[in-house]
Amino acid sequence: MLNFDFHNPTHIAFGQGRIADLDKLVPAAAKVLILVGGASAEKTGTLAEVRAALGERQHATFSGIEPNPSYETSMKAVAQIREGGFDFLLAVGGGSVIDAVKFIAAAVRFEGDDPWAILEKHGRNVKGALPFGAVLTLPATGSEMNNGGVITHRAKGAKLAFGSVHTYPVFSVLDPTKTYTLPPQQLANGVVDAFVHTVEQYLTYPVNAPVQDRFAEGILQTLIEIGPRLLTAPEPVYEDRANLMWAATMALNGLIGAGVPQDWATHMIGHELTALHGIDHARTLAIVLPALLNERRVAKRAKLLQYGERVWGITTGTDDERITAAIERTREFFESMGIATRLSGYGLGGDTVGAVVAQLEAHGMVTLGEQREITPAVSRRILEAAL
């Protein structure tokens, strides 16, 4: 097992009715800016619950954070915070809103000329941030219990990740009933996003870390079990929504990645597809992952065999046949969730390959993967295999 540090300071308040706990979680004297995406938080009554729980605290609302949060919109929030003297932020939404709030919290305190430098340095230059909490309404990214985020600069056509010890949520409220109004597409996205987060920390090479492996395999098996039920249940089932919410959180709160090599090439390539074509983040992951696993089947051989046996129950055939079966079962699972796994499923052809590779090169993504062996040429082969 590799050396590691693990510290996660985020307080999780999990379960039905926990929004009322904001009265205890938010400092009594705080001046709060609530940040949301579109109108869903208002329509579903979640925003009214949040405002009621804040009681007599001064608060206002900033709305309009996009599904792929933009630098431009985030900077409008920064201006409102500075003008209004807000000292505590509250994200109400899914990973996009929480990611944006992490950046906004850091940008308010940033001392440089242009806070986009936070993304260019991937957060290494963040020296402080406003405190913030979250009320999760869309389980997928795990942003509610980690310090990372991804922001898109529309004008630059760039989508970059950042993280800092200063950008952990102080707390996150996880009420599974807040997922009851989500459409099937968002539920499917959440399952696939959490699945790929887990795979990126698990399907690398063995370092004798059975605790992390078993945790990861348990998350994957849970998602495989509940995923189809989420799409076919005539009414929301609390237990399945609760397990989706917790699985997505556990997939990226640092626990299963402690002491093990991590890949993340699927995410880096997927980010460029989103930046160029606006495809949902989870769907870009579903496009890239099967092709990447096949391309890297030799380097990932031991863990692919373990994955096939422990997660999918594949125990017969040659090693090569078992690896092929594990990759195909992964693709079939994504397709069963209604998510296309090839570029052609999104109306894209071979002309997009070169553009994505050029973006990877422009953003310094030229040695990706756990072995740093995914060069632009390898990324090109992966994308061509995903056509």
What does the pLDDT read at residue 288? 98
347: confidence class by pLDDT, cuts 50, 70, 90:
very high
Q: Average pLDDT, stretch 190-197?
A: 98
Residue 218 in this model has a pLDDT that exceeds 90: yes
18: confidence class by pLDDT, cuts 50, 70, 90:
very high
Give me the percent of the chain exceeding a pLDDT of 70. Answer: 100
Residue 155 in this model has a pLDDT that exceeds 90: yes
Contact 23, 183 (CB under 8 A): no
Residue 38 in this model has a pLDDT that exceeds 90: no
Task: Please provide residue 35's backbone torsions phi and psi, each rounded to the nearest 5 degrees.
Answer: -120, 130
Q: Which two tokens stand for residue 179?
A: 């997922």
pTM metric for this prediction? 0.95
Which ranges of the chain does DSSP label H, i.e. alpha helix?
22-25, 40-43, 46-54, 71-84, 95-109, 116-120, 184-202, 210-232, 238-251, 265-277, 281-295, 301-312, 319-336, 351-362, 376-385
Which distant-in-sequence residues (6+ apart) come within 8 Å of 180 by Cβ? Answer: 236, 241
- Mean of the per-residue pLDDT values for the chain? 97
Residue 90 in this model has a pLDDT that exceeds 90: yes
Residue 39 in this model has a pLDDT that exceeds 90: no
Report the distance separating Cα 144 and Cα 129, nearest Å: 16
What does the pLDDT read at residue 320? 98
Report the distance separating Cα 150 and Cα 163, nearest Å: 9
Q: Average pLDDT, stretch 239-253?
A: 98
Residue 157 in this model has a pLDDT that exceeds 90: no
Which ranges of 111-151 does DSSP label H, i.e. alpha helix?
116-120
What does the pLDDT read at residue 112? 87
